[in-house]
Amino acid sequence: MGIKKIIKLKNIFHAFGSRVLFNNVNIWIERGSFVFLTGDSGSGKTTLLKILHGEISPLSGYVSIAGINFGPRNKGFMHNLRRKVTMIHQDFILLEDRSVEDNIVLPLRAMGISKTQRQKRLDIILRTLELTKIRKNRCNSLSGGEKQRVAIARAIIVNPLILLADEPTGNLDNRQTIRLIKILRHFNLHGTTIVFATHNPELKRHVENSRLIHIINSKIQEIG
């Protein structure tokens, strides 16, 4: 790919009605880095992740993710971006009436990957995230932690360049949180850039050489 700065946001302005979320925000994230994104509730963490995922277009400013510049001309090709940039949503967004494996392979099917290839990747992911035993279970019978791992598996299975995680530790205990960070760190060490939105800035100490970006009063503060 050869892109050192995989995420570039320049002079971003975004607001919902009269409520300004981002005012002249600039963010640069290098490839392979692990970035924690913190801020109070309603500060705009999810919105920023959705901007990075191409789900929301900022009202003004320049956005370039993995070499793809956002703009009206690229609107029809945004699916290419979402194959490189995946997101773990706060509420997982799983198909509750489908099995674990059906949920995980969905993005691969959308990419047109053959059944054999899908099966190979699925087996590896299920082993990595310890989901093999429940692979046939329907998602509506899973616990919160299991659902979270399914959501992670779905995001990871496409080998993304960037993984956006929206408060994935929201309903996990301390032990599960550390385990999740270890899993994400594992993929990070294999080259995936991770942007991890959380309330808890303390999590940074579990990941060496990570960055922490704080959103406060519609601005970005680089803490470390």
Partner 1 sequence: MGYIGCIFEQTLSYMKYKKKYQLIIILLISVLSFLSGLFLLIHTNLNAYIAKKNTGKTVIIYWDNNVDRSKVEEDLKKISSIKGVKIEKFYTPKDAIKILTQGSLPLITKYSQTNPKIISYTSVLAVDLKGMGLSNLIKRLKTYPGIKNIYYNPNKVDMYIRLNHVYKCIESVAIGLLVIITLVLFFLYYSVLKLTRIKECYILYITGASRTFLLVPFIFHGAILGLISAIIGLLFLWGSQYYLNYLFFTPPIWLKMDFLTPYGILMQSIFTVLLGIFGSCLAVKDISKKTFNKEI
Where do contacts with partner 1 occur on this chain (CB under 8 A)? 53, 55-57, 75-76, 78-83, 86-87, 89, 93-95, 97-98, 102, 106-107, 109-115, 154, 158
User: In the complex, what is the shortest distance from the CB of residue 109 to partner 1, in angstroms, rounded to a whole number?
Assistant: 5
- Residue number, 137 or 176, with CB nearest to partner 1: 137
Q: Which of 78-93 are b and which e, b meaning 16 or more Cβ less than 10 Å from the residue's Cβ?
A: eeebbbbbbbbbbebe
How many angstroms separate the CA atoms of 52 and 68, rounded?
11
Whether residue 53 contacts residue 164, with contact meaning beta carbons closer than 8 Å, is answered with: yes
What are the DSSP calls for 65-122, one per residue?
A: ETTEEPSGGGGGGHHHHHHHEEEE-TT----TTSBHHHHHHHHHHHTT--HHHHHHHH
Pick between residue 5 and residue 75 the one whose CB is nearest to partner 1.
75
State the minimum distance, in angstroms, from the CB of residue 110 to partner 1.
Answer: 4
Q: How far is the CB of 117 from partner 1 (least distance, A)?
A: 9
Q: Please say which residue, 45 or 89, places its beta carbon nearer to partner 1.
A: 89
Q: How far is the CB of 49 from partner 1 (least distance, A)?
A: 11
Nearer to partner 1, 82 or 206 (CB): 82
Instruction: Identify the residue whose tokens are 């019978």.
Output: 141
Q: Could you give the dihedral angle defined by the CA atoms of residues 23, 34, 173 and 91, in that order, rounded to the nearest 10 degrees?
A: 50
Q: Nearer to partner 1 by C-beta: 95 or 223? A: 95
- Pairwise CA distance, residues 9 & 189, whole Å: 24
CB of 122 to partner 1, least distance (A): 14
User: Between 49 and 134, whose beta carbon lies closer to partner 1?
Assistant: 49
Backbone angles phi, psi at 178, to 5 degrees: -65, -35
Closest approach, Cβ 214 to partner 1, in A, equals 26
Rounded to the nearest 10 degrees, how much is the dihedral formed by the CA atoms of 208, 209, 210, 216? 120
